[in-house]
Amino acid sequence: TQLLEQSPQFLSIQEGENLTVYCNSSSVFSSLQWYRQEPGEGPVLLVTVVTGGEVKKLKRLTFQFGDARKDSSLHITAAQPGDTGLYLCAGVNNNDMRFGAGTRLTVKP
């Protein structure tokens, strides 16, 4: 059983559509990170959220940390083919960081 559950596991959409992916846990985290991984490469950090209820925006990407700091969401507006990749969330507590299995997003032109 994963400490962090990400949903959906796979998502395929057309260019221009909006989407939301989720990262859920029964554990409370001191912070949560989102990474994007492209095929054949290592993950790259997109954002870190620290405060419950926090919302951070990165161009067309909006990240939210749940009020109880147990879950997070990533919303992409007007998806583009360049958004294609594996989106991983990672929960941090003390010196322990655990990754979810990821959501594999495909944006078709």
Partner 1 sequence: NAGVTQTPKFQVLKTGQSMTLQCAQDMNHNSMYWYRQDPGMGLRLIYYSASEGTTDKGEVPNGYNVSRLNKREFSLRLESAAPSQTSVYFCASSQGLAGHTQYFGPGTRLTVL
φ/ψ of 34, rounded to 5, equals: -115, 135
98 lines the binding site for partner 1 (CB under 8 A): yes
40 lines the binding site for partner 1 (CB under 8 A): yes
Per CB under 8 A, the list member of 76, 102, 105, 107 interacting with partner 1 is: 102
Please identify, using beta-carbon distances, which residue of 51 and 77 lies nearer to partner 1.
51
Burial of 21 (0-12, 13-18, 19+ CB in 10 A): buried
49: closest CA among 79, 19, 26, 23?
23
66 lines the binding site for partner 1 (CB under 8 A): no
Q: What is the smallest separation between the CB atom of 20 and partner 1, expressed in angstroms?
A: 19
For the record, the structure tokens of 47 come out as: 């954002």
99 lines the binding site for partner 1 (CB under 8 A): yes
Count the residues in the chain: 109
Please identify, using beta-carbon distances, which residue of 32 and 107 lies nearer to partner 1.
32
Per CB under 8 A, the list member of 7, 13, 19, 101 interacting with partner 1 is: 101
Q: Quick one: CA torsion of 31, 36, 42, 48, rounded to 10 degrees?
A: -20
Per CB under 8 A, the list member of 65, 69, 70, 100 interacting with partner 1 is: 100
